[in-house]
Amino acid sequence: MTDQELVELAFTMLERSYVPYSHFPVGAALECADGTIFTGCNVENAAFGSTICAERTALVKAVSEGHRDDFTRLAVVGNSTEPCWPCGACRQMLYEFAPELTLLVARKDHSFVKLTLGELMPHGFGPKGMD
C-alpha cells in the first residue's frame, strides 16, 4: 500500500467519527509489518475528558488484537488546513509501542507530511527509560 493509499483509508474513517461537541472528525489508519491495518476515529463523550482520539482508537484496537511491536506507519487525517498533528497523549501512547513509527499527517486537501514519531517527540519517555 502506498503512503497516499494509507492516508485515503484514514479519510474513510471520518464518517465514523462521533463528534457532537467539537464537530472535528479525525481518522487514523495504523499499519502492521504483516500488512494488517487497524483504523480508528475519534469518539467523544459528554464528559469531555473521556473522549478518545482517532490514533488511540486505532492503537488500542491493534494491541487488543495481539499486535505490539510491529507497527510500521500511521496515517492521521482531519478537516484542517494545517496537518492534523497527533495530540500529546496520542504521541505518548504511540511512543510506548513504536518510537520509530512513521507518521503520515494529512491536511483536508489530502496532502500530507511524512515524518517519524521520534522527530515529533525527541527524548521521549518510554519503556527503555525505566531500565
Binding site for ligand THU (CB under 6 A): 19, 22, 24, 26, 42, 44, 51, 53-55, 86-87, 90
Minimum Å distance from CB 131 to ligand THU?
A: 29
Determine the Cα–Cα distance for residues 102 and 57; give it in Å rounded to an integer.
18
CA dihedral 46, 80, 117, 47 (to 10 degrees): -10
> Which C-beta is closer to ligand THU: that of 6 or that of 26?
26
For residue 105, list its beta bridge partners: 76, 113
List the Cα angle 38/44/45 in 5-degree steps: 135
C-beta separation of 37 from 31 below 8 A: yes
> Which C-beta is closer to ligand THU: that of 50 or that of 131?
50
- Annotated catalytic residue, options 5, 8, 15, 55: 55
Minimum Å distance from CB 19 to ligand THU?
A: 5
Minimum Å distance from CB 114 to ligand THU?
A: 17
User: 84: which 3 cell numbers?
Assistant: 492534523
96 an active-site residue? no
